Structure 1
Amino acid sequence: MTRVTGGGPFPGTEPLDAQLAVLEHLVDTPFGVDGLPFVVQLPARGAGSDAVGRTAALLGELAVELGPHGWKLADRPGADQRRARHALRDDLTALSVAAHGYDGPLTLSVLGPWTTAATLYLARGDRVLADRGAAAEVAEALGAGVRELVADVRAQVPGVVDVVVQVEEPLLAPVGAGALPTFSGYARLRAVPGPDLVEGLRPVLGAVAAAGATSAVHVGAAWTGVAPAVLAGADGVGLDVGRWDERTWETVARLVERGRTFWAGLPRAVVSQCAGPDVGRVADALTVPWRRVGLPLAGLADVVVRATESAPSLAGPVPSPTARSLQDARGDLATLVRVAAVVAERADG
């Protein structure tokens, strides 16, 4: 059955309200659709609840703090790291209440090791990415933290039958291409070779497997990020789609033929006052190229769909406050479920 989920970020500041909304829309889904409820992230709460801060909270013995340009490694743990960890505990507590009695799969999202290394700064200097030793240390710490997080989620929701860790790597391709600026902005950090990209992913993906969970690496819209994720052992790979691109869809075809799950990041629906959300157009972004590249329609039943998520900001630790309301987010989830239902219908031919 076609599955549907979200990436984690949600509007508002009340985790229980957000988590209840997610479960409401993704537990009772139409025929042919399986919902994958997700653990929410609420960046509107401020530093520590943003994507980088949430991941920094998992780094165990590695101390982090907020600096002028974003999160950075620190000499000792401080208030910023405690705030991030408290926010994560609050979210897990809300999950335990909202999901009481739930029996099914659950997903959670963390930044991947390369995107973390690209957005986290050294205690004194450039991005962690500039120091391969520090980047490796961050990857190992993140792997340990993810393994602990999976155990915490299972403890909070004993009925969870499968935990899926969505590893967000939207900066994987720029890291591999040497496209990211140095601290000064006058140069670029050197490109990370393909084999090193693969090795850098393995501590986290290996930790997910060791925890008995399933991994899905989301690489944004750049098809060049797919191969490192597959070679590193990801169970599934996510790619944002929205228009025909031959190389992108050839990559998707190879991914599917290798038996990996395709996670399709779909554009948000355009809402008309007369006709409502353009659900068919969003479904077309997946199903039309799928047929064009020669993949069997029945394979659409194995796809996971979710809304396209933007990459974390490189400009600062806290995203701009979202203008979307909880009601908007509910509407987006309901629309995405309808999109998944259309995809499921087309999978039946």
Structure 2
Amino acid sequence: MTSYPWQEGTATGIGSYPGDDPAEALRIVLGELPEMPHLPELPARGPGADLTGRTAGLLVDMPVRVEPSGWRFSDRPGRDTLRSHDHLERDLDVLEEIAGGHDGPFKIQVCGPWTLAATIELRNGDRALKDAGAVRDLAASLAEGVAAHVADVRRRLPAARIVVQFDEPGLPAALAGTVPTASGFSRLRAIEEPVAEDTLRTVIDAAAADDAAYPIVHCCARNVPYALLRGAGAQAISVDLRMVPRRDDDAVGETIDAGTGLLLGAVPATDAVLPSPRATAEPVKELWRRLGFPPARLARQVVITPACGMAGASPRHVRAALRRCRETARMIFEDAE
């Protein structure tokens, strides 16, 4: 039987939150999502706290800087790279202080190599995604940096089971050849699936080596490449439930049948009136019924999450949404007993 790091009826978050106080955000997460909390990301703090800048700070020997057009590789580390390091170091110090005794699964998030390559520019202004050699170098650097990051988090949370989430919202566009060039007047050539899978596997394998972490890939875009993500080593896949059309039934069914975990984004990530826990659970159950899997397996294999990151939500909605995720997950578990 497939083993998962979480218990039945578990909920977690995706990553980003509003505000600029890491201690306050972490306390909210620990309070509302005790079964599988995660390290909040606070992009409101500015460059270096955003998804790209935060992960770029993990790169080994590949410094970056901020340009008007976004992040770009640099010749030497400057204030922007140092700012990324400072934000993350502060977050990890807060994590150790507040959650150092946590003894269950704990999730951290990093940007995946393909989304990172689509959002960092080479020194000449082209996207790194355009240059196959640059992508290989980036993936190797990211693999080394993520492995070191996982080791650092394990040192600070010695009793926890580390779950590492690779955010790849840009992967479907890279595969489809719809990522715009730097000028915006053309599109970059599509990435071949075997190349995409091998590159992602390089980073996942480094993070999960010697069972250091349980790897998840999060993709909140349409056309999630489920088989590719499984082939690259993802042991669970995180998606926005609204982005799971019926045409994906075969791919989702194969994923469930393979024992791959699913993190289903069932709760609105931005301010909205929240449906009841039962109404929130219904689309999750309907998907499971449609695919013909036994209800008892649902609460074990599926984790309930917000639809995506919550940086654009109000603090009040964040608390309510996380609570609704947990209530929904618990209801699914109780209904299956």
Distance apart, 1:306 and its partner CA: 1.1
Task: Tell me, yes or no, if the aligned pair for 1:244 and 1:289 is still in contact at 8 Å.
Answer: no
Stretches of structure 1 that go unaligned for 5 or more consecutive residues are: 28-34, 312-320
Q: Distance in 2 between matches of 1:295 and 1:6?
A: 25
Aligned-residue sequence identity (percent) comes to 38
Contact kept, 8 Å, 2:29 with 2:37, in 1: the verdict is yes
Matches within 5 A, 1:24-173: 24-27=31-34, 35-160=35-160, 162-173=161-172
Task: Find out whether 1:342 has 2:331 as its counterpart.
Answer: yes
The amino acid that maps onto 2:115 is: T
Aligned match of 2:4: none
Q: Deviations over 1:83-132 (max 9, x none)?
A: 00000000001101111322211000111000100111111121100011
SS state of the match for residue 39, structure 1? coil
1:57-108 CA-to-partner distances (Å, cap 9, x unmatched) read 1102111010111111111110000000000000001101111322211000
Partner of 2:279: 281
Distance 1:73 1:112 in 2: 17
After superposition, where does 1:245-256 map in structure 2 within 5 Å?
Answer: 245-256=245-256
Task: Find the residue that maps to 2:239 and give its secondary structure.
Answer: strand
Match of 1:18 in 2: 25
TM-score (normalised: structure 1): 0.89
Q: Distance in 1 between matches of 2:158 and 2:52?
A: 28
RMSD: 1.9
Aligned-residue offset at 1:251: 1.4
Measure the CA separation in 2 of the matches of 1:174 and 1:100: 38
- Flag the 1:189–1:228 CA change in 2: closer, same or farther, 3 A: same
Call closer, same or farther: CA 1:244–1:12 in 2, change over 3 Å.
closer
CA deviation digits over 1:175-209, x for unaligned, max 9?
A: 00001110111110000011111011011111122
Deviations 1:256-296 (A, max 9, x none): 11121112122418865xxx643222212211121012122
Query: TM-score of the superposition, structure 2-length normalised?
Result: 0.92
Q: Separation in 1 of the partners of 2:130 and 2:292? A: 42
State how far apart, in whole Å, the 1-side matches of 2:139 and 2:313 are.
33
- Report the 3-state secondary structure (helix = DSSP H, G, I; strand = E; otherwise coil) of the residue aligned with 1:167: strand
Mapping 1:209-224, distance limit 5 Å: 209-210=208-209, 212-224=212-224
Unpaired segments ≥5 residues, structure 2 = 1-7
Correspondence list, 1:179-218, <5 A: 179-210=178-209, 212-218=212-218
Q: In 1, distance between residues paired with 2:323 and 2:224?
A: 31
**Displaced runs of 4 or more, over 4 A:** 269-272
